[in-house]
């Protein structure tokens, strides 16, 4: 395997101070917490070209495809609870992956929909198999018109972003005045994240580099000065609840080195299967309907914002 270069990330990406303490001591990529604002972030990241290559050329697998299909079923339902789609005719989805969510929304609501995605494998599937309009590009290089969309969405993307405040501001540029932004990400301050510690499955410090809580995501959204939070909701997937029960029953407490091995993860993360795929496809939507709440202690959180005209 070609050696991977990691670069130090010495500044908090939210408040830009330089004082942080180790939060979880993963080998090679410790996760740290800012002493000033409390934001949690990976202290080392892939270097420039390697980071681009990672997402463009290596990101995509059968496991991810199945996971995105299941997530699209849930996320379309949550969107329909948060928004009145009679007010939405144009949508831009940033980090659209294989395109399942856009396909579902277009069929249900007759939207003019566009996606932006870096992974070439995922874009080819979205275009050629699903017939979804997806641009293989960074948002800033996409050539799309700013201020043109009633709704901009970003599902499980911001945790991958080195500079999340700047990313939120960029997303906002593409929203019509009075239009909406929906961002969804993991909650690294949830009950299950605290209970599972290093064994919380969303700690993937080379890929998930910006680790939000409900408080820090709310703060980042508000500090753009361009967004008004309309509604926020969260839930915890049953799979994580089950993992927590199993770990507690077996007395399992994973150390950082047991939970994450960088070299092994880079070699194997696009392999394997999406566990419980059929069960998840059948059951997850009903489970989320029952458990989605305005309490923000769940593992997955949604923030709907309106662009301030």
Determine the topology of domain 18-307 in CATH: Rossmann fold (3.40.50)
Of 97, 93, 101, the closest CA to residue 118 belongs to: 97
Q: What is the largest CA-CA distance in the chain?
A: 54
DSSP letter assigned to residue 205: T
CB contact at 8 A, 60 and 67? no
The answer to whether the beta carbons of residues 194 and 253 sit under 8 Å apart is no
Residues of the chain with pLDDT under 70: 1-3
CA distance 158 to 292: 21
Q: What is the DSSP letter of 4?
A: P
Q: What is the pLDDT of residue 107?
A: 92
Q: Which residue has 């979205």 as its token pair?
A: 126
- H or E segment and range at residue 235: strand 227-235
Question: From CA 303, how far away is CA 128, in angstroms rounded?
Answer: 31
Question: What is the predicted pLDDT for the residue at 85?
Answer: 96
The pLDDT value recorded for residue 3 is 62
Q: Would you put residue 12 in left (φ > 0), alpha (ψ -120 to 50) or beta?
A: beta
Residue partners of 199: CB distance under 8 A and separation at least 6: 243, 247, 252, 253, 254, 258, 259
For residue 293, the 8-state DSSP code is: B
Task: State residue 273's pLDDT score.
Answer: 86
Can you give the pLDDT at residue 4?
A: 76
CA dihedral (281, 188, 203, 105) positive or negative = positive
The reported pLDDT for the residue numbered 185 is: 98
| pLDDT at residue 53, as a whole number | 86
Please tell me the pTM assigned to this model. 0.96
Show the beta-strand stretches assigned E in 137-195.
149-155, 175-186
Half-sphere exposure of 165 (CA within 13 A, CB side): 14
């Amino acid at each position: 395997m070609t050696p991977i270069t990691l670069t130090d990330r010495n500044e908090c990406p939210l408040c830009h101070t330089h004082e942080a303490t180790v939060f979880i001591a993963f080998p090679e990529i410790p996760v740290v917490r800012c002493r000033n604002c409390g934001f949690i972030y990976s202290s080392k990241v892939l270097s420039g070209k390697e980071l681009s290559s990672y997402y463009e050329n290596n990101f995509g697998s059968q496991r991810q495809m199945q996971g995105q299909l299941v997530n699209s079923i849930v996320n379309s339902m949550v969107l329909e609870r948060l928004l009145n789609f009679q007010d939405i005719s144009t949508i831009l989805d940033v980090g659209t992956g294989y395109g399942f969510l856009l396909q579902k929304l277009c069929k249900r609501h007759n939207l003019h929909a566009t996606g932006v995605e870096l992974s070439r494998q995922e874009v080819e599937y979205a275009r050629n198999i699903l017939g979804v309009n997806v641009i293989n590009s960074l948002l800033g290089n996409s050539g799309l018109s700013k201020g043109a969309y009633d709704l901009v969405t970003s599902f499980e993307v911001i945790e991958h972003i080195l500079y999340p405040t700047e990313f939120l501001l960029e997303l906002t540029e593409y929203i019509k005045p009075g239009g909406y932004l929906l961002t969804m990400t993991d909650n690294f301050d949830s009950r299950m994240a605290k209970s599972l510690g290093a064994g919380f499955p969303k700690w993937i410090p080379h890929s998930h580099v910006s680790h939000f809580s409900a408080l820090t995501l709310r703060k980042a959204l508000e500090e753009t000065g361009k967004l008004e939070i309309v509604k926020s909701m969260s839930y915890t997937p049953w799979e994580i609840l089950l993992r927590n029960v199993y770990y507690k029953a077996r007395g399992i407490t994973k150390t950082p080195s047991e939970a994450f091995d960088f070299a092994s993860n880079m070699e194997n993360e696009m392999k394997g299967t999406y566990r419980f795929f059929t069960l998840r496809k059948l059951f997850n939507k009903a489970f989320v309907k029952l458990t989605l709440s305005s309490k923000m202690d769940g593992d997955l959180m949604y923030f709907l914002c309106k662009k301030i005209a």
